[in-house]
């Protein structure tokens, strides 16, 4: 019997919704429906009475539900036991997004190693959704992800990285005391797109213009966006942390634009409910790194 089909069945009952179960499992609604149908074929019985968009459990479905829950719980416990056998108390498993991996983790690890020289660090870099799933499955101890939430996780703010408009050395905006959206819209723009709410707010800043902004480069990688700015191919909105070194050397310069004053790229620390020693360690380490205090 396919565990994934049983999981879909249990999640549909738990959320009382095919769509919500699909969201929780990072699947499409048709995929959830297909798994339920496959389970019904395996059991040779109908589990749901369907009436349009609503549904109820059949008597057979009600009888099978406690067994399905027990199967899923036993599978998860067995999986967790195997994962625990592959880890030791001398290892910390951290999951994070690409930006955190590039600009935060290299600052954190030396402080951790100074305190615990024998501690091994295992790092997983992926999307926020994948990291969240790995924390839920106890494949990693702690995650540093964008501002997301889940009922099975504790989530606290770790960093708030201001989003600013950056221009290259020698650009005329450097000497401007204050910019308008019209002036920015006429510039060649390098647009970093990560899909978060704050980046959508930046898009909306240009809605008042009678012409579309001149977005010549649209990229999904911070390092690529930064390098295009350094090549003087355009200007762009970037999180401050990723251009910290370039700001210090003045190869990239923040241009004052007041409408950006409340825009941040937020990073949250997520763990299993109740927290872990790994989470407490990362929170303590953050307080020992002076420049990270600017982003709290």
Examine the domain organization and report whether 17 and 109 are in the same domain: no
112 and 178, same domain (yes or no):
no
**Of 85, 115, 138, which one is at a domain's C-terminal end?**
85
Per-residue pLDDT, averaged over 47-64, amounts to 88
Residue 263 has what pLDDT? Answer: 82
User: By the 8 A CB rule, do 95 and 36 touch?
Assistant: no
C-alpha 126/C-alpha 77 separation (Å) is 25
- Domain span including residue 33: 3-85
pLDDT of residue 208: 81
In this predicted structure, what is the pLDDT of residue 295?
A: 67
Residue 87 scores a pLDDT above 50: no
pLDDT digits (tens, 9 = 90+) for 93-139: 999 999 899 999 999 999 998 888 888 999 999 999 999 999 999 89
Number of domains making up the chain: 3
Q: Which of 35, 69, 85 delimits the end of a domain? A: 85
Q: Report the sign of the C-alpha dihedral through residues 156, 153, 277, 274, in that order.
A: positive
User: Residue 243: what pLDDT?
Assistant: 92
- CATH code, domain with 136: 3.40.190.10
264-272 and 153-168 as β-strands: parallel, antiparallel, unpaired?
Answer: antiparallel
Same domain, 150 and 289: yes
Residues 176 and 237 in one domain: yes
Q: Are residues 203 and 81 in the same domain?
A: no
Is pLDDT above 70 for 4? Answer: yes
Q: Are residues 148 and 290 in the same domain?
A: yes
Give the pLDDT score at 210: 83
- Residue 273: what pLDDT? 83
CA angle 280, 285, 290 (to 5 degrees): 145
% of the chain residues with pLDDT over 90: 45
Q: Report pTM.
A: 0.64
Amino acid 85: pLDDT: 40
Same domain, 110 and 240: no
| pLDDT-derived band at 1, boundaries 50, 70, 90 | low
- 198 — pLDDT class (breaks 50, 70, 90): low
**Euclidean distance between CA atoms 18 and 86, whole angstroms:** 35
Final residue of a domain: which of 85, 112, 143?
85
- Rounded to 5 degrees, φ, ψ at 215 are -85, 100
């Amino acid at each position: 019997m396919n565990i994934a089909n049983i999981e879909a069945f249990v999640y549909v009952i738990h959320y009382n919704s095919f769509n919500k179960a699909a969201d929780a499992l990072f699947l499409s609604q048709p995929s959830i429906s297909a798994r339920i149908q496959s389970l019904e074929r395996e059991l040779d019985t109908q589990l749901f009475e369907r009436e349009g968009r609503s549904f109820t459990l059949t008597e057979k479905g009600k009888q099978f539900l406690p067994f399905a829950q027990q199967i899923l719980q036993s599978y998860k416990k067995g999986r967790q036991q195997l994962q625990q056998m592959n880890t030791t108390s001398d290892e910390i498993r951290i999951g994070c997004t690409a930006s955190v991996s590039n600009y935060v983790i290299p600052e954190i690890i030396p402080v951790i190693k100074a305190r615990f020289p024998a501690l091994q660090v295992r790092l997983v870099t992926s999307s926020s959704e994948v990291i969240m799933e790995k924390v839920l499955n106890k494949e990693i101890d702690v995650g540093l992800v964008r501002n997301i939430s889940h009922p099975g996780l504790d989530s606290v703010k770790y960093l708030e990285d201001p989003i600013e408009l950056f221009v290259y050395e020698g650009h005329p905006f450097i000497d401007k005391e204050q910019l308008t959206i019209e002036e920015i819209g006429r510039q060649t723009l390098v647009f970093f797109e990560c899909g978060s709410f704050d980046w959508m707010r930046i898009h909306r800043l240009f809605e008042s213009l009678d012409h579309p902004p001149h977005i010549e480069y649209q990229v999904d990688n911070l390092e690529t966006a930064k390098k295009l700015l350094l090549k003087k191919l355009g200007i762009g909105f970037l999180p401050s942390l990723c251009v910290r070194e370039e700001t210090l050397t003045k190869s990239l310069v923040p241009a004052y634009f007041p409408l950006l004053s409340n825009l941040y790229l937020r990073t949250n620390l997520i763990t299993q409910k109740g927290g872990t020693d790994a989470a407490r360690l990362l929170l303590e380490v953050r307080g020992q790194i002076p420049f990270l205090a600017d982003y709290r």
